[in-house]
Amino acid sequence: MSVTAHSQERSVADPEERTERRGPRPVVRRLGIAVALLALAAVVLLSIAAGAQDIPLRTVWEVLRHPDGSRDAVIVHDYRIPRTVLGALVGIALGLSGALMQALTRNPLADPGILGVSLGASTGVVVAIAFCGVSAVSGYVWFAFAGAVIASAAVYAIGSTGGRAATPDRLVLAGAAITAVLFAFNTAVLMVDPRAFDEFRFWNVGSLAGRYLDVLLPVAPFIIAGGIIALALARPLNALALGDQLGTALGVRIRRTRVLGAIAIMLLCGAATAAAGPITFVGLAVPHIARLIVGPDQRWVLAYSLLLAPILLLGSDVLGRVLGAPGELQVGIVTAFVGAPVFIALCRRRRPAAL
């Protein structure tokens, strides 16, 4: 075997090395992780310190260390900390699910809505309000999560009918079909039930306001489980990016990777949407930003998405509180205003990063 042929074979047979060469050096990537961790810590502290109720930073620091039962301590511990933790978890879930979805479908425009997950969660909330009399956010969670799970399972079942593999294009088409059906159902129910429409529109805008421990605790285990599965799939996804045939030749179990990926998306996106409502652009834009920084290696893309998404979501939530004072703008509205121009600017300045 010639030296050239041997080099080509080695390049194809080692997807980690192949993707490693297409990004910055490892030391730069690790430095970026450290910077992102510092930025995340800063935005978490800012989220705890800022709010509709003006509390001096020194007081916030004091009640964080020594909860004394005062009004300021109750606001910080019972309202702001659960809201911040929930925002971080929802951001992590949206970032990881977006990166995973784009890698599995090989579609750079894939987001949590493309497989019908968001509409499935919305349908669960519509059913809860219109037919079950549920009126509390904590009650919406389980219906929204069940709706997301059922819609995701239906998309995968339709995409793999006839014993054929659930290929990316089949999943996208199945997701579009399920989305159209659920959208028609939701519209029909809300049009004939003004009370349901009035309650649904507050959940549908995407918000962290009013979400406390009763919402945080039920969704946290699903997001943690989905995050672990997503991170474990990083290496198979690198091989899958070379194509199904080469991935199989490299020892990757394609069907198993896709099933586990679908389960992770279902857990992450379903729990995030159930907790905060549909929030756009986070799952779409953050993986693109991550790939522009670190290249196509899924190990780094998933790690950066895990850190950058909560920074974007919590930063948008804080911005909404500041701009909307004495009230606040919902985080779903702010992420659309913040994320869309950034995403468009990235697309105009550089070529879309390769998947």
In a domain, 314, yes or no: yes
Q: Return the closest-CA partner of residue 328 out of 210, 216, 200.
A: 210
The set of residues, in sequence order, having a beta carbon less than 8 Å from that of 97 and lying 6+ positions away, is: 112, 117, 226, 230, 264, 265, 268, 269, 272, 283
What are the pLDDT digits (tens) for 123-177? Answer: 888 888 888 888 776 777 788 888 888 888 888 788 777 666 666 677 778 888 8
Say if 26 falls within a structural domain: no
- For residue 31, being part of any structural domain is answered with no
Report yes or no on 18 lying in a domain. no
Number of domains in the chain: 1
Over the chain, what is the mean pLDDT?
Answer: 81
- pLDDT band for 3, please (50, 70, 90 cuts): very low
Q: Is residue 2 part of a domain?
A: no
pLDDT over threshold 60, residue 12: no
Residue pLDDT, tens place only, 101-115: 888 877 776 776 667
Q: Residue 18's pLDDT band (boundaries 50, 70, 90)?
A: low
Residue-wise pLDDT tens digits, 172-219: 788 888 888 888 998 898 888 888 887 777 677 667 777 777 778 888
Contacts of 233 (CB under 8 A, 6+ apart): 100, 257, 260, 261, 264, 298
Nearest-Å Rg of the Cα atoms of the chain is 21
Share of the chain above pLDDT 70, in %: 85
What pLDDT does residue 141 have? Answer: 76
| Per-residue pLDDT band at 258 (split at 50, 70, 90) | confident
**Is 310 inside any structural domain?**
yes
Full-model pTM? 0.82
For the domain that residue 186 is a member of, what is the CATH number? 1.10.3470.10
For position 4, what pLDDT does the model report?
46
354 inside domain: no
Determine the Cα–Cα distance for residues 30 and 19; give it in Å rounded to an integer: 16
| pLDDT of residue 310 exceeding 80 | yes
Q: Is the pLDDT of residue 10 over 60?
A: no
**Residues spanned by the domain of 52:** 36-348
Q: Evaluate whether residue 20 is within a structural domain.
A: no
